[in-house]
């Protein structure tokens, strides 16, 4: 079989949390283009429905949209049951939902700290755990967690200790699950994007001065684009990455090299 045929995702059933917009939407579009049926999971169900409809019209695949709070175990379990009811199985889980708060550490409340950790780390665990249980019963699958280059560096000038700590936790969680589930044929990897120019980021007045500083610091002098994460997502979702597990892929235009 030729390499392009091996990279096809035709017949695979995939879900993407935080899939309604930004990086999640770009990943969902990519796996659908590669042939997978995809479930768009988001707290914003109206936007999730729009994204699912758009992807369905552009690709010869099945789509669905579900509202779920990844910090709520019941929501996560119900989400998985709904996907199984429509798709019959889950081959790939993209645990992508996340938030960030730029608040100085000395001013951050405990509730704010817990909210970031709950979405970014606990939410990834709950989602990966639920998907992993299904994949173990099926005989295998692939889980991809969205971490961040912030797991490896301390971002400046914005104060975001909770975000950085949560994403570092995602990388270590990924490695731990990969080892635990290796002999169960469930692969677990993470993607660590650098600064990505999503529509929300680029249109935020409060981020404009930060973007200018980030670009001055960046070796490539620009932010990444959401579509520049698509190839690694399709690779990790497919069978050509069968020997790839426990890895963290930093895609940051060499930002963490400086």
Catalytically active residues, by annotation: 148, 163, 167
- Compute the residue count for the chain: 258
Q: In a 3-state reduction of DSSP, which class is residue 141?
A: strand
> Alpha-carbon distance 56 to 50, whole Å?
10
Strand order in the sheet with 92-95: 63-67, 37-42, 13-17, 92-95, 141-146, 186-193, 248-251
> Alpha-carbon distance 165 to 127, whole Å?
19
Q: Which residue has the tokens 């990279």?
A: 7
> Alpha-carbon distance 9 to 91, whole Å?
10
> Alpha-carbon distance 161 to 215, whole Å?
21
């Amino acid at each position: 079989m030729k390499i392009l045929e091996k990279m096809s995702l035709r017949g695979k059933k995939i879900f993407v949390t935080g899939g309604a917009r930004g990086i999640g939407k770009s990943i969902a579009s990519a796996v659908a283009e590669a042939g997978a049926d995809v479930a768009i999971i988001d707290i914003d169900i109206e936007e999730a429905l729009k994204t699912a409809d758009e992807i369905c019209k552009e690709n010869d695949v099945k789509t669905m949209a579900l509202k779920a709070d990844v910090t709520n175990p019941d929501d996560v379990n119900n989400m998985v049951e709904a996907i199984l009811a429509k798709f019959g199985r889950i081959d790939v889980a993209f645990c992508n939902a996340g938030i960030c708060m730029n608040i100085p550490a000395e001013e951050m409340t405990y509730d704010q700290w817990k909210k970031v950790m709950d979405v970014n780390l606990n939410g990834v665990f709950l989602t990966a755990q639920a998907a992993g249980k299904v994949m173990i019963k099926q005989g295998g699958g692939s889980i991809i967690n969205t971490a961040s280059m912030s797991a490896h560096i301390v971002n400046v000038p914005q104060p975001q200790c909770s975000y950085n700590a949560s994403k570092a936790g995602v990388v270590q969680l990924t490695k731990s699950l990969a080892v635990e589930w290796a002999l169960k044929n469930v692969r677990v990897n993470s993607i660590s994007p650098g600064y990505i120019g999503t529509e929300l980021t680029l249109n935020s007045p409060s981020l404009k001065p930060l973007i200018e500083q980030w670009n001055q610091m960046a070796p490539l002098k620009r932010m990444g684009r959401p579509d520049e994460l698509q190839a690694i997502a399709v690779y990790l979702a497919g069978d050509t990455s069968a020997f790839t597990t426990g890895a963290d892929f930093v895609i940051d235009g060499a930002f963490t090299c400086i």
